[in-house]
A and B are shown apart, each in its own frame.
Chain A
Amino acid sequence: MINTMNKKMGIILAVISAIYLYFSFMLPEYPYVPVDSDAVPIVLGFILLFLSVLLYFSKSEESEEEKLPKGEGKVILAVLGFVLMFILLLEPLGFVLTTFLFISINSRFLGYKKWVSNIIVSLALPLSIYFLFVSFLKIQLPSGILPF
């Protein structure tokens, strides 16, 4: 029976360690060293396999994981989507514009209703960070489609 969290995780981890072991054994040989690059990964793979078996048979000490309140999973997924968009647009659109869009949209989505202060913060902050990084710290952030 795969009823408890420990059993589920035990199986998942055992599968992961099996895959890891498979790729460890596939590593090319390099004959001129006493300990080749596959030695440590193979040992680690077996340790993880052993631990996942232990986990499978160990009794859950804690109660089953708390359920997320209704709709919260969707909110977290939506934020995840925003973050992925942020990353994808960062280089094409540039740091200032992307960050402005992300902060304003994400904050509004999570329930920040004051549009004016939202716009001010999400404009002022990326601009000041951008100039701090580019002028003072000499770290180039993507400028994107903006001219500076």
Chain B
Amino acid sequence: MSIFEGILTGFQVALSLKGLSFVFIGVVTGTIIGMIPGLGPITAIAVMIPITYGMDPALALLLMAGVYYGSAYGGAASSILLNAPGESMAVPTTFDGYPLAKQGKAGKALAIAALASFTGGTISVILLTLFAPFLAKVAISFGPAEYFALMLMGLMTVASFSSGSTIKALISATVGFIIATIGIDSQTGTARFTFGNINLMEGIDFLVIALGLFALAEVTSLIRERKERSMFDSEFGSMKLSKAEVKELSVPVTRQSLLGFIIGVLPGAGGTIASFLGYITEKKLSKKPEEFGKGSIVGLAAPESANNSASSGAFVPLLSLGIPGSGTTAVMLGALIVLGVQPGPLMISDHPDIFWGVIASMYIGNVILLILNLPLIPYISKLLKVPKPMLISLVIMFCIIGVYGISFRTFDLFLLVIFGIIGYFMARMNFPAAPMLLAFILGGMMERSLRQALTISDGSLLIFVQKPISATLLAIAFLSFIVPLLKTWRKRKSDGNAEETDSQAS
């Protein structure tokens, strides 16, 4: 099937009335969830998974693509209206988005964010269409050694790029991997760390971990803020943009869309880095850098197009290699597997309809976001007026339905609560949660490919360095782990010296 034919079949499903309505439902639901402070795409996708259970996979994909884009946009909307970013990648959106809203230009800010996301998404999906089949062709020659090296590199870079201490991020990742070892070992049939509990035999469902660490843990900060009235009351203003404004935005938005895509494809980097980098570069390149932070439209558009483009770029390794590069794509992988879709290099050649279905869904999700969702934003944002106590109860209820709807066991609900508690303490002690989720999802795959590789080499570890691709990937993984550690060590050493001189002086 040629690329063109593939796209056409993909769009055929997406453009049916049923298809469009599912995208629309997804976009609106995603926007609503994304608008709730603290909840982002990970929660939105995780909560929607049980609903897609048993649905026609093509339609379910459309729904999920809608949820994905909708929740990212909902996060931008809460950044603009409430100065409350749902997750780290929406933080730069607040820098200029919130000042614009305070000036009574909320409508315009929301329109710019939607337009910038749309452009970023469009450029990114086009590049994805061209790039993913190529990467998949390369990946067909990959053996277990290369896969293992690739996943290790992805995990290491995510850990070293995440905010805060690298050691803490690595600990998060290791613990995630350890949790993945619970259950029956697929190669030997040995029950590991189940302590005779039947419920643990199949391992822990990733939904339990995603909803526990992200949604349920976030409930505690909602509880602490329950008395604050963080609603948006000022005027929305017009949503129209002038021709001059569109012209001013066109170059930065295009530039950031391209840059965002490249960052998104790299494992580990992703939306957060893209949006911060986008904001900083446009500020440097701008003729009016003094406007940044006070309501510059370029300052709002740049991070939005960059992070949306990066989010779609992250689908390149997910679809062509079957390997997620971030927490969000990891949950997306889980959602795809529930639908019976196994991404990977063979998907494009064996199931082109599904591959192009995903691409078409993403594109349609993007379009619907702009033309149907945007006009509804003033109404959707009324939901922000739902009182916090009620909101907290509802978020907890959705987490419970999400887990129960897929496992039908109260045991998993208790696990959910345990992971919620772990997530709460991790957040308080600045342990990032994303590496844990990613390591948990990659863990099973990594162990399998490691053991397959060692079976091929008859137990010799040399297989990983004798193959050029895996050797290179492992070298990158090693460097991304060792460089930040060396940095902190050197910093510590110089700090230590300073302290010594201090004590001598006193």
Contacts and interface: CB of A to CB of B under 8 A. Distances in A.
Contact of A137 (B53, B165, B421): B53
B397 A102 contact: yes
B191 to A, nearest CB: 9
A55 B193 contact: no
Interface in B142-181: 164-165, 167-168, 170-171, 174-175, 177-178, 181
B178 A20 contact: yes
Contacts of A61: 164-165
Nearest to A129: B401
A35 B192 CA distance: 15
A143 B113 CA distance: 44
B164 A62 contact: yes
A96 to B, nearest CB: 12
B428 interface: yes
Interface string B477-490: 00000000100100
Contacts of B224: 68-69, 72
B396 interface: yes
Given A103-B390, A111-B226, A48 B175 contact: yes
Nearest to B406: A139
B163 to A, nearest CB: 11
A147 interface: no
Contacts of A138: 54
Contact of B405 (A69, A125, A133): A133
A139 B50 contact: yes
A34 B455 contact: yes
Contacts of B167: 51, 54-55, 58
Residue of A65, A102, A107, A122 with most chain B CB atoms under a 10 A cut-off: A107
Contact of B429 (A59, A65, A109, A125): A65
A41 interface: yes
B389 interface: yes
Contacts of A107: 387, 389-390, 392-393
Contact of B193 (A23, A35, A86, A90): A23
B224 to A, nearest CB: 6
A27 interface: yes
Given A33-B187, A80-B417, A83-B396, A52 B430 contact: no
Contacts of A137: 50-51, 53-55
B266 to A, nearest CB: 24
Contact of B389 (A20, A33, A110, A140): A110
A87 interface: yes
Interface in A63-122: 65-66, 68-69, 72, 75-76, 79-80, 83-84, 86-88, 90-91, 99, 102-103, 106-112, 118, 121-122
Contacts of A80: 417, 421
B377 interface: no
B464 to A, nearest CB: 13
A28 B190 contact: yes
Interface stretch (B295-303, B342-350, B446-454): B446-454
A133 to B, nearest CB: 7
Nearest to B456: A34
B390 A30 contact: no
B455 A139 contact: no
A10 B92 CA distance: 33
A59 B413 contact: no
B392 A58 contact: no
A46 to B, nearest CB: 10
A124 interface: no
A41 B401 CA distance: 32
B199 to A, nearest CB: 14
A80 B488 CA distance: 38
Contact of A106 (B55, B178, B392, B492): B392
Contacts of B174: 44, 47-48, 51
B394 A103 contact: yes
A108 B400 CA distance: 20
Interface in B378-404: 387-390, 392-394, 396-397, 400-401, 404
Contact of B396 (A34, A90, A106): A106
A36 B189 CA distance: 10
B84 to A, nearest CB: 18
A45 B171 CA distance: 11
Question: Which 5 pairs of residues, A with B, have the shortest CB-CB distance?
Answer: A110-B389, A112-B389, A37-B185, A30-B188, A37-B190
Interface of A: 5, 9, 13, 20, 23, 27-28, 30, 33-37, 39-41, 44-45, 47-48, 51-52, 54-55, 58-59, 61-62, 65-66, 68-69, 72, 75-76, 79-80, 83-84, 86-88, 90-91, 99, 102-103, 106-112, 118, 121-122, 125-126, 129, 133, 137-141
Given A20-B193, A33-B451, A112-B390, 17 more contacts: A30-B188, A37-B187, A37-B190, A41-B178, A41-B193, A44-B181, A51-B174, A62-B430, A80-B417, A86-B400, A87-B413, A90-B400, A107-B392, A109-B389, A129-B401, A140-B408, A141-B401
30 contacts: A28-B190, A33-B187, A33-B188, A33-B451, A35-B451, A44-B178, A48-B171, A54-B167, A55-B168, A58-B167, A58-B488, A58-B492, A61-B165, A62-B164, A66-B428, A72-B223, A72-B224, A88-B410, A90-B413, A102-B393, A103-B390, A103-B393, A106-B393, A110-B223, A111-B389, A121-B390, A122-B393, A126-B397, A137-B50, A139-B405
